[in-house]
Chains A and B, each alone.
Chain A
Amino acid sequence: MLEIADLSAGYGEAGVLDAVSLDVARGSITALVGSNGAGKTTLMRTVAGLLPVKAGGIVFDGSDLTRAAPHDRVERGLSLVPEGRLIFPGFSVEENLRAGAIAPHARPRLAARLEEMYALFPILKQRRRQPGGTLSGGEQQMLAIARGLMSCPRLLLLDEPSLGLAPAVAQSLFETIVRIRGTGVTVFVVEQDIRSTLEIADTAYVLENGRIVMLGTAADLLEDPQVRQAYLGL
């Protein structure tokens, strides 16, 4: 569904990603794991169009997105939930969700989609009139994900969704990701919590210093001695 080929990108002169290639299969949960500074967020921002591509290409559902503007990518069914959530603190929960459906293709489905999101995240319905900035960290992450889903994406990009969450909250978040895949949305997730991510993912890639150093089924990587030693501390 998403094919990234020999992608290089970064900030200004400094290259962060060095010829990264990966595929996200339709209907899968695909994970990209790695330590701090490996280039995970840079990859997500580049796929969403927030950073320009230096070399290589991005193909989504058969159409070339390498040079497409961020709003074009949303229009074609790609949605990024950015690192740090970036919810709109002064908007109420419902206004945040409505803003998520601002793309022209999402507008007609707004009302139905809002109900779907409230069914998926009942806590948001309880808090619908509350300013987004007053929610707890876990609730804000739920809000950010629901807002990202409001545009009815076929591929959801999650950038470090468990960042800063208490372990129990993070655990329920990973369960939520599985439920989202169950609604027919393909999920591409970038994470530092490697064990929890590999437990829910189908396929995984390991990124180190801007390069893919390992790939395979998530189950295989969980058993891989190198991964266990370097990332799981076993």
Chain B
Amino acid sequence: MAEHSRFLALLAVAVAAFALVPRLGGDYAIGVALNLLMWIALTQSWVVLSAMTGYVSLGHAVFFGAGAYAMVLCFGSLPFWLSVIVAGAATGLLALLVGYPCLRVRGPYFVILTFGLAELVKFVVINVEAALGQFGRLLFGGPGLAQIFYVVLVLAAVSVIVTWFVRRSRFGAGLRAIRENEEAAETLGIDVARYKVLAFALSAIVPGMVGAAMVLRTTYFEPLDLFNPITSFTIVSIAIIGGGDDVPGPVYGALFLVLMQELLWANWPEVYMILLGGLLVAFVLGVPDGIHGRVAAWRKARG
């Protein structure tokens, strides 16, 4: 219980600090903080499925993009906040529908399947838009940057809370048991099919809502951008750099990545991707348990 109250207090302080950014900082500061919160929200959601169960999704961009598309379809007819909720419901439902067949395969097959699924949905949306005679949609008259920021701040907080409580629940213990040994988990009475599909749906809702909010920032809907596989790759990279199957990993990873982006992008834009790729290789080879694993080991050593 003490652990929960300390976590919630820390979270409240962090949310309050972020809430001050639009009041104190300019558009640049808001942009950087928004970027950070977005990656935290996306990666926390990914952790619930992939870090806990070991079913690595390389297609989480599909939920980001589908949420953005839901926002586009609602745009003008529903209020902003309601559209965000609709987007979350839609991507959760999408995950429930595709989850059952997808989660029957394991290991590399699941990885490739999620990647393929994201590409499939992307091209379906492109073709639907073409059939509708739409080639990139402009979204004028949406909410301002500060309003988008507050929505993504709430989503990041929600994703952190979800990861925290799932990680400490019976459900989370079941998900981690599936990762350790799925057959053993089944013999202990864990309904593995249901657990995996629920985790998949849970990991899809917040990314859909984040996509819905973020598409309004660019005021332009282009499927190739919103379903960009780089989004999926970045989520996995942040999770690897951050490490672990708990709340701190994605926070460390996103902080690290966003700082690097700002530093490298500003100073050496031409080698930014090369450096990022090099860092990822270094982490996988040298720090397989990520920043979180190193911090935990360091704390333990200090007693």
Contacts and interface: CB of A to CB of B under 8 A. Distances in A.
Interface of A: 48, 50, 69-71, 73-75, 79-82, 86-91, 95, 98-100, 102-103, 106-107, 147-148, 150-151
Contacts of A107: 170
Interface stretch (B58-66, B172-180, B294-302): B172-180
B17 interface: no
A57 to B, nearest CB: 21
Contacts of B189: 70-71, 73-75, 102-103, 106, 151
Contacts, number: 66
Contacts of A89: 180
B191 A69 contact: yes
B184 interface: yes
A87 B173 contact: no
A70 B186 contact: yes
A205 to B, nearest CB: 22
Nearest to A79: B187
B188 A100 contact: yes
A99 B189 CA distance: 10
7 shortest A-B CB distances, which residue pairs?
A74-B189, A103-B189, A88-B180, A86-B184, A71-B191, A80-B187, A71-B189
A80 B103 CA distance: 24
16 contacts: A70-B186, A70-B187, A70-B189, A71-B186, A73-B189, A75-B189, A81-B187, A82-B183, A87-B184, A88-B176, A90-B180, A91-B176, A99-B173, A102-B174, A147-B188, A150-B188
Given A69-B191, A70-B186, A75-B189, A102 B177 contact: yes
B74 interface: no
B51 to A, nearest CB: 12
A102 B183 contact: no
A71 B191 CA distance: 6
A89 B54 CA distance: 14
Contacts of B186: 50, 70-71
B172 to A, nearest CB: 11
A82 B187 contact: yes
Contact of B187 (A90, A95, A106, A148): A148
B179 to A, nearest CB: 8
Contacts of B181: 86-88
Interface in B148-180: 170, 173-174, 176-177, 180
Contacts of A75: 189
B180 A82 contact: no
A102 B188 contact: yes
Nearest to B170: A102
Interface in B218-245: none
A208 to B, nearest CB: 26
Interface string B121-151: 0000000000000000000000000000000
Contact of B188 (A69, A74, A90, A95): A74
B15 interface: no
B180 A74 contact: no
Among A70, A74, A91, A98, the one with the most B-chain Cβ atoms within 10 Å of its Cβ is: A70
Contacts of A100: 188
Contacts of B191: 69, 71
A74 B190 CA distance: 9
Contacts of B183: 50, 82, 86
A91 B180 contact: yes
Count chain B CB atoms within 10 A of each CB in A48, A73, A88, A147 and give the residue with the most. A88
A102 B187 contact: no
A172 B181 CA distance: 27
Nearest to B180: A88
A141 to B, nearest CB: 13
Contacts of A71: 186, 189-191
**Chain A CB within 10 Å, residue with most, of B174, B176, B187, B190:** B187
A98 B185 CA distance: 12
Nearest to B185: A99
A111 B11 CA distance: 31
A170 B162 CA distance: 45
Given A70-B186, A90-B180, 6 more contacts: A70-B187, A71-B189, A87-B184, A88-B176, A107-B170, A150-B188
Contacts of A81: 187
A150 B190 CA distance: 13
Nearest to A70: B186
Given A91-B176, A98-B173, A103 B188 contact: yes
A88 B177 contact: yes
A207 to B, nearest CB: 21
Nearest to B171: A102
